[in-house]
Amino acid sequence: RRDVKAKFGAIDQQRGGAVGGLIVAEGAGQAPVVTVSEMRGEPIVTNRVVLSGSFNPLHDGHQSLLSVASNKYGSSKDGSCFEMALKNADKGTLSADDPSLLARIKQFTEREQALVLSNEGLFIQKAMLMPSCDFVIGYDTYVRILNPRYYGESEQNMIAAL
């Protein structure tokens, strides 16, 4: 899979758009840098506090949730970042040329905040992609994570995954 770097709100289409792999958007200035590598089993992002969401739009609640979690649990971490899945288990798939995707990325780059875009819609997949990260979730996501629907309709699979 090929990596793509999105910087200052524009996706570098020449390197494969959002097809396979991971996209990182870095804000200007002092934004945390999230390193990427090809997805061949090695970690993409490690040891961070991560807030996943669709961020349509990014709002103060998202900012506060990540800030509070980072302050409480981030002392042993290398920083924090936001993560947005291009393939969402409930909301479908965003294409690289979707204007709303570029607008969502711009929200982070304008605020100089690190954003990881992944192709992983389920938290079990995100956890494998970003080992040793602590994921921050809101109530709605908490309820979804405990739904056997995301584990092949199997409560046993859900318990094993958790």
- Report the pLDDT averaged over residues 58-86: 90
3-14, pLDDT tens digit by residue? 333 332 333 332
Residue 36 has pLDDT above 60, yes or no: no
Alpha-carbon torsion (152, 38, 48, 30), positive or negative: negative
pTM: 0.76
CA 107 to chain centroid, in Å, comes to: 14
- Report the pLDDT averaged over residues 11-24: 37
96-147, pLDDT tens digit by residue? 778 888 888 888 878 878 888 887 888 888 888 888 889 999 888 899 999 9
Residue 20 has pLDDT above 50, yes or no: no
- Give the residue among 78, 82, 79, 95 at the shortest CA–CA distance from 4: 95
